[in-house]
Structure 1
Amino acid sequence: MTDHTLSQAEYDAITDAAAHWCMRLHATDCTAEERLAFEQWRDAHPLHAFEYEAMLDIWDVAGDLPHPESAVSVRVKPAMPWRTFGIAATVCALALPLAAYTGWNLGWLPNAYQHFEATDNVRQVTLSDGSQVELNLGSELTFSNYKDQRRVTLKKGEAFFSVSHDTQHPFIVKAADGRIRVTGTQFNVWMYEDQVRVNLIEGSVLVTSNDAESGEGLRLEPATQARYRHGDFTPQISQTSANDHSLAWRSGKLVLDDLTLTDALPLINRYLNKPVMIADHSTGSIRLGGIYNIKELNSLVASLPKVLPVYLTRNKDGNPVLNSIPQQPPKS
């Protein structure tokens, strides 16, 4: 393909091809020859790769489609699961305005989709519903506006939400296995691996730790927080202490208030390419405090042996490992 300005027809053809490859590569019967043909197509022009990545985002969003029994009866071949059918329909709808309009009315497809990332700086973004979101370093989320709800998926990191009030369209944040449901409020969601912490600042939210469980979840009130991780049946609810510093990241700081290394390292590791490991329980019980710049946490790791009774090693994967220095027995 040459570098001339693409016509609308050429651009539409690339979009259609990207949708085709997205469906084929997710199909169980996709062959090695097809995968090779896809790689050749993707590498033929930078726009091919760009459009394919956009299709992958849409594919992820479509994974949350409701089961058709909740909206309308759809006849699907038994060999084709509903999730695969729904995702394929969503991708195809990109090139079919009528199908997209029908999908919106049925509550299957969003009429707005946004993807945001924050890499080296805190980032403030505005969602299409008017809600404001502040993203911490290394954070990523998507927003989809459906007819009956607004849906955010926090893929990684941390975000502070100021949600536009709309009682008719609940605002739902998916984080790990759980979800946070609101209509208009301010709250913070921190996620690292399968750990999630929700801090409510204003209003109220409903928190579940397992999206597959029925029910609305547990209600948070201002100055309370919920914690959960993979496998938890219900979130743990607690009061937020008067000296809580969980929102210090908005000022570029990480405040560790005399925490054990077991509790401090998930807060630190969220910012690191190579997470720090703990050698044993005795090392994890060592306490750490201080105020740190979130952009300089890599240097903190190297300095820990200077302020704590620990030394650093590396495991087979190259991760730094903290080891406690054995205390010398007193001389008799």
Structure 2
Amino acid sequence: MTPESRDESGDLSPDEAFAILANETRFEIIQTLWELYEPDDPANLVKFSDLYDSDTAVTFSELYDRVGYGDTGNFNYHLEQLTDHFVRRTDAGYELTEAGFEIARAVVAGTVRERPHLDATELDADCPRCDAPVVAHYENHHLIVSCSECRGIWQNATGEAGVLFTFPLPPTGLSGRTPDEAFHATLAFNLNRVQSFISGICPDCSSAVDQSLDICENHDPRDQSGCPDCHRQHLIEVGEVCHQCKSVARGPLSIAILAHPAVAAFYYDHGIEHLFASWETFRHAQSVEEEILETDPLRIRLTVPCENDRLRLTLDETLSVVEAVEETSYVRD
């Protein structure tokens, strides 16, 4: 089925979507509607809900004039190809659908006036493993954070170098921010996404996600040098994959468990306001103890310490917490 012959009321396949958007005029229509959209207008605060009487859509003539297309008939044809999926027709004219907004936002997030760049910069943060200064640099739309002394949490295949984390950050995330501000923004941006994955919901398309575990059978992190088998400090890694839009999240289970409400309550009882989407999550995760209790069925124990107390969490094969026990006044080895 070609875009021209598709059923307007039906679903749009990825091939059809790419074919529709691979046209300069159609893309310019989306861009123009986005530029004319006023998010502060009360009628746009609750979009598509008909809670307000006013209709903020753009008229055909205004849209035609703004785009500057020379042929009214062909312009109307291109507009109709976008309608229902990327553009919505109202009594007053045309406006972007949520899918249209997502296309525009993806372009805006990756566009800045100058190509963003951040050389290796020492941050106002200490390594959670050795307390040495943390260093960050930005390349390929990712913020790479490393320790200035140790090999961090993940090591390369030779074990000679490693990182604390490598997180994606749209170029606009650097705009107007200091390196330290970009560092914390990256953590908040990505760990909030991780929390959505943990809840079983893809943060990009809202589809269900599939979960998998990677347990290193011969784990031997060897202090600061990393495990020679899995090249990481943590025993258990959890992966979350959305097969609908191919978004993915992967990281230590010792970090993911810190999103559980039992952990937040445990810290709060000790006078700590635990915010998952923060640098402190990485710091706390380095003291979480991992243990495989059983393999069939799988039972995992994670122990979260705080002062002289600890919270023991037992997880099943779905990573659901089946038991939470708090122990007080213990002394760690």
The higher-RCO structure (CA 8 Å, 6+ apart) is 2
TM-score by length of 2: 0.28
Q: Rg bigger for which structure?
A: 2
